[in-house]
Amino acid sequence: MNKLAVELVKKNVDTYVVTYHNSWIGQHEGANGVKAYRVSNPVKAQLNILTWDLTLNQEVERVAADIYYSVQRKVDLIDAHDWHFTPAAVSLKRALGIPFVFSVDSLENHRSHGSNAPLSLSIKSLESSGANEAERVVVKSDWMKQEVNQIYKTPLEKIEVVSPDSLTWIDEILNAYKKALASSNSRILGRGLG
């Protein structure tokens, strides 16, 4: 994640990372030009990873909205990594018209060995919403592209493969972002990515 953000900055993409930290919260801009915003969970007592995640999403939305309004609404795209913040990505897209890319590192089906326990089913429903509401899904291998297509019925043409071993991976990611922007019905025009 850090590597991606740093390389995006080098490509002149104004990049904000919204993430979690239990105590080191607030804004931090590193020498590499990445602006990181860390939020903590307002609800400290939790039952499971899902309750923790679904009370953290609103803090992510708060900070994302603060960034959006502080840059005069000129946010081109959101890149959501794995299932945790797909609820925030979907709400921000529906509310503010910001398209999003769903980047898949791993899927619950593989992590839980096909479990149908309630927790796994719920995580799968969040992955499904990410895979189907995103303008583009970015995966790391052709195998994962097939898996996303089979499990979540996401059309193959919506799924971009960017191998971490590729020498031009950052350009390929930028290309996926541009495709997401082009396919979005958003009123917001590309800035920095155009």
Partner 1 sequence: MLSWEFPPRIVGGIASHVYNLSRHLARTGVDTYVVTCDFPGAPEREEVDGVHVVRVDSYTTPSSDFATWDYLMNVNMQEEAATIISDLNGRVDLIHAHDWLVANAAIGLKHIFRVPLVATIHSTEIGRRNGLHTNYERMIHQTEAWLAHEAWKVACCSRYMASHIQWAFGLPENKVVMIPNGIDADIFKQDFNKREFRSKFASPDEKIVLFVGRLVYEKGVHVLINAIPMVLARVNAKFVIVGDGYMRGSLMGRVRNMGLAHKIFFTGFLDEQSLPFLYQCADVCVVPSLYEPFGITAVEAMAAGVPVVVSDTGGLAEIVEHDKTGVEVFANNAESLAWGITRVLLSPSYAELIRLNAYRKVLETYNWSKIAEKTKILYQWICDEYQAGSWKPM
> From residue 27 to residue 66, what is the string marking binding to partner 1 with x (rule CB under 8 A)?
---------------xxxxxxx-xx--xx-xx--xx-xxx
User: In angstroms, what is the minimal distance from the CB of 57 to partner 1?
Assistant: 7
Q: Using CA atoms, how far apart are residues 89 and 78, in angstroms rounded to an integer?
A: 7
**The one segment of 13-21, 120-128, 164-172, 184-192 that binds partner 1 by CB under 8 A:** 120-128
Nearer CB in complex with partner 1: 19/58: 58
Within 59-88, which residues bind partner 1 (CB under 8 A)? 61-62, 64-66, 69-70, 72-73, 87-88
Q: Which of 56, 61, 32, 33 has its CA nearest to residue 46?
A: 56
Site string for partner 1, 124-143 (x = CB under 8 A): -xx--x--------------
For partner 1, the binding residues (CB under 8 A) are 42-48, 50-51, 54-55, 57-58, 61-62, 64-66, 69-70, 72-73, 87-88, 90-92, 94-97, 117-119, 121-122, 125-126, 129
